[in-house]
Amino acid sequence: MENINEKANYCLGCKIKKCQQNCPLGNDITEFIRYIKENDYKSAYNKLLETTVLQPICGRICPHKSQCEGGCVRGIKGESVTIGDLEAFIGDLGIEKNYKINKYTDKKQDKKIAIIGGGPCGISAAAELARNGYKVTIYEKYNKLGGILVHGIPEFRLPQEIVQKQIDKILELGIGVKLNKELGKDYTLEEIYNKYDAVFLAFGANISSKMNIQGEELEGVYGGNELLENKKFPEFKNKPVAVIGGGNVAMDTARTIKKLGAKYVFVIYRRAEEQMPAEKKEIEDAKNEGIEFLFQNNIVKIIGDKKVEKIECIKTELVQKEGETRLVPQDIENSNYIMDIDYVIMAIGSQTEQKIVSSLGVNLTKKGYIQIDENYMTSKKGIFAGGDLSGTKATVAWASRSGREAAKSIIEYLKKSN
């Protein structure tokens, strides 16, 4: 507790709250920390509840250095306030002390909403709707809720016990759940649409993007998202593995594979280290665990008969191109080289499952996301979408914000349709 008070007292309580401005959820950071300083933890919890129901989760996995802590005035000349630690502390205390998530009203509304997808976006939307008195049912394809929190982020980064306890707390709001129900397999969107007053699509975009290079179809090439989601790993023990990409999925995949006993794990990233979107702490942890980084390198070909045997890479240089705000990687001619590799993991980004989204009867963007208006509504009246599915920035906090704000739009829509 002394350590927590020390971390809280380090906060200057700025009147211009750049930390809050940098938080996707808009958490009133200086205010909840002020309550911690006063040892009023219940008030700190309630202050956070005004903007988030995922305190113990976001406190652990948000890219704090590029979000809230990145805006901290303390960080200009020294270390930022460890906002994530303080948020996780309050969230954990909420579980331990069984602090309730307050409802905004005790009045029960007569409208029903279906949410398809039980990840951070769907859960946050369900919580906001339930707190406003609406009857909500979440449809989830797996046997438990959580989405990427359960099927994407490794245990060493986010303890599953914490996730499940927080989800249980959210469900106490009276949210209904239908597990093992997969869209397009167990039901259609039309069937749900006919049973509910509004539908919110929040099943994410977790298909690994491809580079479309030679050899990508070989045995031994996997998508990072799918490996983390399904937890069905090949035999990595004593094998050399290449992970392509520089985000948190690349870090999570590389660290997981190293822990499974891979001899070498190389993270190949075509830009410089300072351009990596992964959280700095995750990069440092990966380095400390023996993962090797090949910055300003890119894979151009996967070589093998039926399975991966080697990869061909090329070195890159960063150049300024007209119309670009940041330096762009460019291949260095004749810098190609070959590496002996048994497995290649693609972690260069995610996309929607086109077979499903194209069957929904709603408009899509050029990149294959579900097209929504400023109120999160799709091209079909009464059907809303958010999170990764609609192209939201791919972090848990942004997904959660998307769900929360979409819920507010759904409420306004339902009020007008009375």
pLDDT digits (tens, 9 = 90+) for 110-157: 999 999 999 999 999 999 999 999 999 999 999 999 999 999 999 999
Give the DSSP per-residue string, 264-300. EEEEEESS-GGG--S-HHHHHHHHHTT-EEEETEEEE
Q: Where are the alpha helices (DSSP H) in 360-418?
A: 396-416
Supply the pTM of this predicted model.
0.93
Cβ contacts of residue 226 below 8 Å, gap of 6+? Answer: 206, 207, 208
**If we measure between CA atoms, which residue out of 380, 27, 350 comes closest to residue 190?**
380
- Under the banding of pLDDT at 50, 70 and 90, the label for residue 279 is confident
* pLDDT at 1 (0 to 100): 61
The reply to whether 14 falls in a domain is yes
**CATH label of the domain that carries residue 36:** 1.10.1060.10
Q: Are residues 124 and 252 in the same domain?
A: no
When pLDDT is cut at 50, 70 and 90, the band that residue 292 belongs to is very high
Instruction: Please check whether residues 316 and 371 belong to one and the same domain.
Output: no
Query: Quick one: 226 and 330 in the same domain?
Result: yes
Q: Are residues 190 and 118 in the same domain?
A: yes
pLDDT above 70 covers what percent of the chain?
Answer: 99
Question: Do 312 and 357 share a domain, yes or no?
Answer: no
| Cα–Cα dist 241/386, whole Å | 34
Q: What is the mean pLDDT of residues 97-122?
A: 96
Give the span between the Cα atoms of 243 and 137, in whole angstroms.
Answer: 38
Q: Which helix H or strand E contains 305, and what residues bound it?
A: none
Least confident of 36-40, 229-233, 297-301, 320-324: 320-324
Same domain, yes or no: 60 and 122: no
Q: Is residue 338 part of a domain?
A: yes
Please indicate, yes or no, whether residues 81 and 163 belong to a single structural domain of this protein: no
In a domain, 410, yes or no: yes
Structural domain span for residue 64? 2-96
Q: Is the pLDDT of residue 392 over 90?
A: no
| Shared domain check, 340 and 261 | yes
In this predicted structure, the answer to whether residue 371 has a pLDDT above a threshold of 90 is: yes
Asked if residue 408 and residue 295 are part of one domain, the reply reads no
- What does the alpha-carbon distance between residue 326 and residue 152 come to, in Å, rounded to a whole number? 30
CATH number of residue 124's parent domain:
3.50.50.60
Task: Give residue-wise pLDDT tens across range 76-93.
Answer: 999 999 999 999 999 999
* Domain contains 101: no
Average pLDDT of the chain, as a whole number = 95
Write down the number of H helices and E strands in the chain. Answer: 15, 16
Are 121 and 88 in the same domain? no
- Asked whether residue 104 is domain-assigned, the answer is no
If asked whether residues 121 and 185 sit together in one domain, one would say yes
**d(C-alpha 47, C-alpha 351), whole Å:** 35
Residues 171-213: pLDDT tens digits?
999 999 999 999 999 999 999 999 999 999 999 888 999 999 9
Domain ends where: 349, 375, 397?
Answer: 349
The pLDDT of residue 306:
95
